Amino acid sequence: MRLYWTAWSMLFLGGPLAMAQNNADLLERMKAMEDRIQALESELAQLKGAPAPVQAGQAPAATPAPAPVAPQSAGVLGGAGAGASKILNPDVSVIGDFLGTVGNSGPVQTPSLEMHESEVGLQAILDPYARADFFISFGEQGVNLEEGYLTFPSLPGKFELKVGKMRAAFGSVNALHNHVLPWADRPLVTNNLVGGEDGINDAGFSLSRVFAGPGGLFLEGTAQLFRGDSSTVFKTYKHDDVSTVEHLRAYRDLSESTNLNLGFSYSRGHSPVAETLINQLYGFDATIRWKPLRRSIYHSFVGRTELIWDHNEESRPAAFGYYASGDYQFARRWFFGGRFDRSERFFSYNPLDQTVVLNPPIATQPLFQDTGGSLILTYWPSEFSQIRAQLRRTAYEQSITANELLFQFMFSIGAHGAHPF
């Protein structure tokens, strides 16, 4: 009897409850479908390149944040167009560097007008573990792979590994591409002791790691191993004639607007002069930057210096050189700067064709010393182009003084990735 009444109670009371439950479920499902239609409409609008249609008064509050990739719906037929595969192409950029020189250029002859460099950049994320960057430099005479390397940014232990051909982390200027230099040329010390424009640039490995030092100090250690061929700096004679570069960087924010960067570098490899000679380079660099955040697009100052010693295991003293420069941005598009250079050198210039002559390392062989100074004015028509004039005076050792006006037009097309600070 109790069972009988229970069954009837369930039938009469449970029925409406179940119906109510069904209605609630139905409403819930309809709401979910409505949300899904809205999400699909939004996706369709985005694919068409129009803003997502969000109706006035609509309450998307009820919809959860859409997943970045919407699930394939039965209502969507076919995939993306053939052109969609092009989105996997790398970012492509070309940076043109047109350079002109007027005046007496001394022993280092430079063309009066030249398309100094056209740098093609190809950059992309390779896979979930690595990215690839290629910078191919076209000159008027030939092509050079300036850099081409793989970067593994997320190795265990927060190490970063680069594999390929790259500019070495020696000092501050060596690692910079032409288009990010604050001058139209490179400092004398770079030309005399660190291989000039090509610099220490070789194939190998680079391992670096960022550390937090005491008191908010930023530290970065980099160790690089290269084949051992770098311009006039290092040469490899056999397989194990590798060169190495070590760099320790310390950085600190002095205030919100000002920061100081110090670097210590060491590099070692076989000298191009003789197989038995080992070239050792020691470097110290310091950069102070000031950029008030509220007016960062209008005013800034960067002061730089770099001191380099080149010792080649002979009894004669190391060659020494340095530069000090300052660049002040006095308006949104205008920069004014100056640079002082002084550097010794082992090599001499051939008076006939101005080519570099590597002198044998004889203790009695004197070191040449050059001294120079530049004033630089830079104008940016936009973020993507700049016009620069540089008045340069250089007193070379052999009583030759060069007075030149360099002018440069630099322009960038395409998507060129930002460079590290």
* Contact status: 249 vs other proteins (CB under 8 A): yes
Our CB check for other proteins shows the closer of 26 and 297 to be 297
Q: Does 218 bind other proteins (CB under 8 A)?
A: yes
- In whole angstroms, what is the distance from residue 152 CA to residue 370 CA? 41
Within 277-316, the residues that bind other proteins by CB under 8 A are 289, 291, 293-298
**How close are the terminal C-alpha atoms of the chain, in Å?**
86
Beta-strand runs (E) in 65-158? 91-104, 113-127, 130-138, 143-152
Which residue in 35, 40, 41, 60 binds other proteins (CB under 8 A)? 60
**Token pair listed for 119:** 């740098």
- Measuring CA to CA, how many Å separate 55 from each of 31, 310, 402? 16, 70, 70
Residue 134 contacts other proteins per CB under 8 A: no
Give the other-Cβ count within 10 Å of 56's Cβ. 4
What is the Cα–Cα distance from 402 to 93, expressed in whole angstroms?
Answer: 35
> Should residue 160 be labelled a site residue for other proteins when binding is judged by CB under 8 A?
yes
Stretch that binds other proteins, among 11-19, 181-189, 212-220, 265-273 (CB under 8 A): 212-220
Q: Does 421 bind other proteins (CB under 8 A)?
A: yes
Stretch that binds other proteins, among 28-36, 233-241, 249-257, 351-359 (CB under 8 A): 249-257
Q: Which of 216, 239, 355, 364 binds other proteins (CB under 8 A)?
A: 216
| Tally of CA atoms within 13 A in the half-sphere of 236 that contains its CB | 15
Given the complex with other proteins, which of 13 and 47 has the nearer CB atom?
47
Q: Where are the alpha helices (DSSP H) in 308-397?
A: none
Nearest approach in angstroms of CB 289 to other proteins is 8
| Cross-strand partners of 234 | 230
- Region label for 204, one of left (φ > 0), alpha (ψ between -120 and 50) or beta (otherwise): left
Interface contacts to other proteins, rule CB under 8 A: 49-52, 54, 60-61, 64-66, 68, 125, 128, 131, 151, 153-155, 158-160, 209-210, 212, 216, 218, 220, 249, 251-253, 256, 259, 261, 289, 291, 293-298, 332-333, 382-384, 413, 415, 417-421
